[in-house]
């Protein structure tokens, strides 16, 4: 059914708004979720006119429609307001425009604020929305914010406190775009809709779980941001731990946001918090250096634009988490994420135990692989008999894997997230309790590394990370399971 809502996008001239937000809103428009009763106010510092803003929005959706009239009908709902986030007067102007559009488009006072800007502005914006009475309490009022949510437990707490002075937790939607991905949602389906997996989902049958978020690209034009962050904060604190908690959680009472959240938080709480010494043992880092790969010359991280020449920022992390509860005691969760790796791929490997087999030789471990990006699907390696007259065990792979774009119905992550925010469904957003626990776990690793001045391990661009990453598993008698 058509939604009634006024969106206000802070950071409307930015990269995120053009690449993700406008195309996602347009997809919702094409599906009829947005039709007559919606309006969008774009704000940023630049002095744009409505017409110019509409041209920008039009350009951002050009690949999604050949129907010029439809695209124009959509962009006619967009309005631009030049705005500096710390200028109170600008919020008064915003309020007037918002009220005018609310009555023109009959949005019932429903408002969604999307903060596509640096997090240092979030608190300031929230405070002004309240003090300048942009928030009216007439309809639903929700705020959607992008990562990163803080840079440590203390900065995240500060940020959260400033938002919570204005919004309830139920009104705050913290994006973790991997949670919006279809396949992450299907992790739950694979686990809980299949007795053959659900029955085996514990330390009794699972040897270890591996989560890889590999990127083939380098830092591109985001060196300025990335150099102040690094892979640990950029990927492990949020995406990787979210996926881990979905894999490790107990079965929720119901498949709804609150029930799933409760179980995810419990799983995160059960992850062992390391001492600094243990963190150094269990986590390794690396930085990519120049190399030739696939016929191409790649520069090293320190030569990337806007990256310090002597940067010690890690572009790769591998680590081991342990979960101290009955289900997972003794099962390591290995995680890794990095830039400039051999190939792009987000996947989960559930490696089953392989006790010595009295009947056959060469029996391989069963591995359930869940592919998240760029292909979606799963595969299961099983042991079969090699064709022919002899008797040899032959591992084979049952696979269902398709290109995420292939079916055309795999909704873009931001589209799902917008729809969820419109419906007040927080299942695919991260909650404060999760962010808080994730920071507690990550801060220890960061502190351990920051107090260690030894050389940063290197890895050649195009490889799967530094040698230390392979050694991390080798010392446990295991190896990364990664097949093309
Ligand atoms: P950007 O630099 O392209 O855009 C920032 C926007 O903020 C611009 O519209 C700018 O005009 C506006 N702005 C800056 N200072 C302002 C001020 N004082 N008053 C009013 N407006 C001001 O950044 P981006 O890449 O669009 O990213 C926005 C946020 O989203 C960041 O927090 C980033 O970490 C996060 N993010 C971006 C991406 C992405 O794909 N670009 C992905 C994940 C997260």
Same domain, 130 and 277: no
**Same domain flag for 159 and 265:** no
Q: Which of 175, 190, 222 is the last residue of a domain?
A: 175
**Which residue's alpha carbon is nearest to atom 4 within ligand 1?**
14
236 with 378, same domain?
A: yes
Q: How many domains does the chain have?
A: 2
Instruction: Specify the residue with its C-alpha closest to ligand 1, atom 23.
Output: 14
**Would you say the CB of residue 120 lies under 6 angstroms from ligand 1?**
no
Q: Which domain holds residue 87?
A: 5-175
- Whether residue 480 is contained in a domain is answered as no
Question: CA 141, CA 54: separation in Å to the nearest integer?
Answer: 25
Query: Do residue 312 and residue 225 come from a single domain?
Result: yes
Residue 232 belongs to some domain of the structure: yes
Domain boundary among 152, 175, 198: 175
- Residue 13 CA: which ligand 1 atom is closest? 9
Give yes or no: residues 187 and 132 share one domain: no
For residue 217, give the CATH number of its domain. Answer: 3.30.360.10
Residue 258 has pLDDT above 60, yes or no: yes
CB 117 less than 6 A from any atom of ligand 1 = yes
Do 276 and 314 share a domain, yes or no?
A: yes
Shared domain for 126 and 199, answered yes or no, is no
ipTM for the predicted complex:
0.94
DSSP assignment letter at 148: P
Tell me if 129 is assigned to some domain: yes
Q: Tell me the CATH number at 56.
A: 3.40.50.720
Residue 393 lies in a domain: yes
Residue 195 in this model has a pLDDT that exceeds 80: yes
Looking at the fold, whether 103 and 242 belong to one and the same domain comes out as no
The answer as to whether 245 is a domain residue is yes
Query: Is 278's pLDDT higher than 70?
Result: yes
483 within a domain of the structure (yes/no): no
CA 104 remoteness from chain centre: 36
Residue 264 counted as domain residue? yes
Does 150 sit in the ligand 1 pocket, CB within 6 Å?
Answer: no
pLDDT tens-digit series, residues 373-415: 888 888 999 999 888 888 888 889 999 887 765 444 455 778 8
Angstrom CA distances, 275 to 272, 279, 281, 389, 471, stand at 9, 6, 10, 56, 21
- Tell me if 119 CB under 6 Å of ligand 1: yes
**pLDDT, tens only, 59-113:** 999 999 899 999 999 999 999 999 999 999 999 999 999 999 999 999 999 999 9
Ligand 1: which of 9, 11, 173 to mutate, judged by most atoms within 8 Å of the beta carbon?
A: 11
363 with 388, same domain: the answer is yes
Q: What's residue 179's pLDDT?
A: 67
| Average confidence (pLDDT) over 424-450 | 95
End-of-domain residue from the set 119, 143, 175: 175
| 402 given a catalytic annotation | no
Percentage of the chain surpassing pLDDT 90? 80
Mutate to test the pocket of ligand 1, among 8, 12, 13, 14 (most ligand atoms within 8 A of CB): 14
200 and 328 together in one domain: yes
Torsion region of 288: left, alpha or beta (phi above 0 gives left; psi -120 to 50 gives alpha): beta
Catalytic residue among 90, 239, 276, 431: 239
What mean pLDDT, rounded, does the chain reach? 93
Span 221-232, mean pLDDT?
Answer: 94
Residue 482 falls within a domain, yes or no?
A: no
39 to each of 43, 171, 403, 418, how far by Cα in Å?
13, 20, 34, 14
Q: Are residues 98 and 118 in the same domain?
A: yes
Residue 251: φ, ψ to 5°: -65, 125
Report CA(441)–ligand 1 centroid distance (Å).
27
Shared domain for 133 and 230, answered yes or no, is no
Ligand 1 neighbourhood includes 18 CB (under 6 angstroms): no
- pLDDT for res 484: 75
């Amino acid at each position: 059914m058509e939604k009634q809502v006024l969106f206000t996008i802070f950071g409307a001239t930015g990269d995120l708004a053009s690449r993700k937000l406008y195309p996602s809103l347009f997809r919702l428009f094409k599906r009829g979720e947005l039709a007559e009763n919606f309006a969008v106010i774009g704000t940023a510092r630049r002095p744009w006119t409505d017409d110019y803003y509409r041209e920008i929005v039009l350009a951002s959706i050009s690949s999604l429609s050949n129907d010029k009239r439809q695209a124009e009908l959509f962009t006619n709902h967009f309005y631009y307001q030049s705005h500096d986030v710390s200028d109170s007067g600008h919020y008064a102007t915003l309020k007037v425009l918002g009220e005018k559009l609310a009555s023109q488009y009959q949005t019932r006072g429903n408002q969604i604020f999307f903060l596509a800007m640096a997090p240092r502005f979030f608190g300031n914006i929230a405070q002004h929305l309240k003090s300048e009475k942009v928030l009216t309490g007439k309809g639903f009022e929700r705020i959607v914010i992008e990562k990163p949510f803080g840079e440590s437990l203390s900065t995240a707490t500060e940020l959260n406190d400033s938002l919570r002075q204005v919004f309830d937790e139920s009104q705050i939607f913290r994006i973790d775009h991997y949670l919006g991905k279809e396949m992450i949602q299907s992790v739950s389906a694979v686990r809980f809709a299949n007795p053959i997996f659900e029955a085996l989902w514990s330390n009794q049958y699972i040897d270890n779980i591996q989560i890889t978020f590999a990127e083939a690209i380098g830092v591109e034009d985001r060196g300025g941001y990335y150099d102040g962050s690094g892979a640990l904060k950029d990927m492990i604190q949020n995406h990787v731990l979210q996926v881990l908690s979905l894999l490790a959680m107990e079965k929720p009472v119901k498949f709804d946001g609150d029930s799933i959240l409760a179980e995810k938080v419990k799983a995160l709480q059960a992850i062992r918090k390391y001492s600094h010494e243990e963190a150094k043992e269990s986590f390794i880092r690396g930085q990519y250096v120049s190399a030739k790969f696939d016929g191409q010359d790649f520069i090293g991280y320190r030569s990337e634009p806007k990256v310090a020449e002597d940067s010690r920022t890690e572009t790769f992390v591998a680590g081991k988490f342990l979960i101290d509860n009955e289900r997972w005691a003794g099962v390591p969760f290995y995680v890794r994420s990095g830039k400039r790796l051999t190939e792009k791929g987000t996947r989960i490997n559930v490696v089953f135990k392989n006790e010595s087999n009295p009947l056959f030789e060469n029996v391989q471990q069963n591995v359930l692989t869940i592919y998240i990006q760029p292909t979606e699907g799963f595969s299961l390696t099983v042991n079969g008999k090699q064709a022919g007259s002899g008797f040899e065990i032959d591992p084979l792979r049952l696979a269902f894997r398709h290109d995420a774009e292939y079916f055309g119905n795999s909704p873009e992550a931001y589209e799902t997230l917008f729809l969820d925010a419109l419906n007040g469904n927080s299942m695919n957003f991260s909650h404060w309790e999760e962010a808080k626990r994730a920071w507690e776990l990550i801060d220890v690793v960061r502190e351990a590394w920051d107090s260690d001045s030894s050389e940063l391990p290197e890895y050649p661009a195009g490889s799967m990370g530094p040698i230390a990453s392979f050694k991390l598993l080798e010392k446990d008698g295991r190896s990364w399971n990664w097949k093309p």
